[in-house]
Structure 1
Amino acid sequence: MLKKVVLAGGTGFVGQYFEKHSRNLGYEVRIISRQTHTGWEDKEGIRETIDHPYRNLVKFGMGGHQGSGNQKFSWIHIEDLFNIVLFLRKNQELCGVFNCSSPHPVTNRELMAHLRKLMNIRIGLPCPTPMLKMGAFFMGTETELIVKSRWVIPERLEKAGYAFKFHHLDEALEQILMNS
Structure 2
Amino acid sequence: MAKKIVLAGGSGFLGENLADYLQHRNYDIVILSRQPEKVEKGIRYIQWDGRSISSWASELDGSHAVVNFTGKSVNCIYTKKNREEIVSSRIDSVHVLKEAIDRCSRPPQAFIQAGSLAIFGDTTLLCDEDSPHGSGFSVEVCQRWEEEFFKEKIPGTRQVLFRIGFALGRNGGAFEPLQKLASFNLGGTVGSGKQYISWLHVDDLNAMFLYAIESERFSGIYNATGPQPVTNKEFMKTLRAVMGKGWAPPTPSPFVWLGAYTLLRTEPSLALTGRNCVPSRIVEQGFEFSYTSLEDAFRDLLQPVSE
TM-score, length basis structure 2: 0.51
Alignment-derived partner of residue 276 in structure 2: 151
Fraction of identical pairs, as percent: 27
The 1:16–1:50 alpha-carbon spacing in structure 2 relative to 1, beyond 3 Å, is closer
RMSD: 2.1
Residues 3-152 of structure 1 correspond to what in structure 2 (within 5 A)? 5-9=109-113, 11-13=146-148, 15-17=149-151, 19-20=152-153, 22=154, 27-42=155-170, 44-46=171-173, 49-52=174-177, 54-139=178-263, 140-152=265-277
Secondary structure at the counterpart of residue 162 of structure 1:
coil
Instruction: Give per-residue Cα distances to partners, 1:78-126, cap 9 Å, x unaligned.
Output: 1101111122223202210111111101111111111111111112110
Which amino acid is 1:39 matched to?
A
Q: Is contact 2:112–2:212 with CA below 8 Å preserved after alignment?
A: no
Instruction: Give per-residue Cα distances to partners, 1:159-180, cap 9 Å, x unaligned.
Output: 1110000012111001111235
Greater helix fraction, Structure 1 or Structure 2 = 1
Alignment-derived partner of residue 289 in structure 2: 164
For 2:266 and 2:303, locate their aligned partners in 1 and report how far apart those are by CA, in whole Å. Answer: 32
Show structure 1 runs of 4+ deviating over 6 A: none
Where does structure 2 lack aligned partners over 5 or more consecutive residues? 1-105, 114-144
For 2:233 and 2:292, locate their aligned partners in 1 and report how far apart those are by CA, in whole Å. Answer: 18
Secondary structure at the counterpart of residue 92 of structure 1:
coil
TM-score, length basis structure 1: 0.84
Q: Compute the displacement of 1:3 (Å).
A: 6.6
Q: Compute the displacement of 1:55 (Å).
A: 1.4
In the alignment of these two chains, the number of paired residues is 168
User: Relative CO higher for 1 or 2, CA cutoff 8 Å, sep ≥ 6?
Assistant: 1
Where does structure 1 lack aligned partners over 5 or more consecutive residues? none
